[in-house]
Amino acid sequence: EAQVTQNPRYLITVTGKKLTVTCSQNMNHEYMSWYRQDPGLGLRQIYYSMNVEVTDKGDVPEGYKVSRKEKRNFPLILESPSPNQTSLYFCASSLTGLSNEKLFFGSGTQLSVL
């Protein structure tokens, strides 16, 4: 089954403790992206990747890092999480990243930073 898999689904952590949220897709997609969803703000793009070793900032990249060493994986790294990063995070992918392509989303990761 074609899917985008995020782990974990829920994560509670404390300020400053480094964490990684994993994202993997099995569709051989070139494009992957991370979003955060906050009430009243919708989804905001954090980072995206057009291919292996090619990443770029979205609208809200501060406090986040990403890497794309393999085509299928696109982890989101919070080196020193802060409470304002408490949010629902989604990973998405598409075939090439063209702006007319459908995005495939993971089920989300609810992060709470205390």
Partner 1 sequence: AQSVTQPDIHITVSEGASLELRCNYSYGATPYLFWYVQSPGQGLQLLLKYFSGDTLVQGIKGFEAEFKRSQSSFNLRKPSVHWSDAAEYFCAVGATDSWGKFQFGAGTQVVVTP
Closest C-alpha to 86, from 53, 110, 56, 60: 110
Question: Least separation, in Å, of the C-beta of 15 and partner 1?
Answer: 27
For the chain, what percentages of helix, strand and coil (3-state, to nearest 5) are there?
A: 5, 50, 45
Place of tokens 């070139």: 30
**Interface pick for partner 1 out of 48, 64, 76, 113 (rule CB under 8 A):** 48
List the beta bridge partners of residue 38.
42
Closest C-alpha to 94, from 102, 86, 82, 83: 102
Range in contact with partner 1 (rule: CB under 8 A) among 14-22, 62-70, 73-81, 100-108 = 100-108
> Would you say 35 or 64 has its CB closer to partner 1?
35
**Interface pick for partner 1 out of 58, 72, 75, 86 (rule CB under 8 A):** 58
Binding site for partner 1 (CB under 8 A): 4, 31, 33, 35, 40-45, 48, 50, 56, 58, 90, 92, 96-103, 105-108
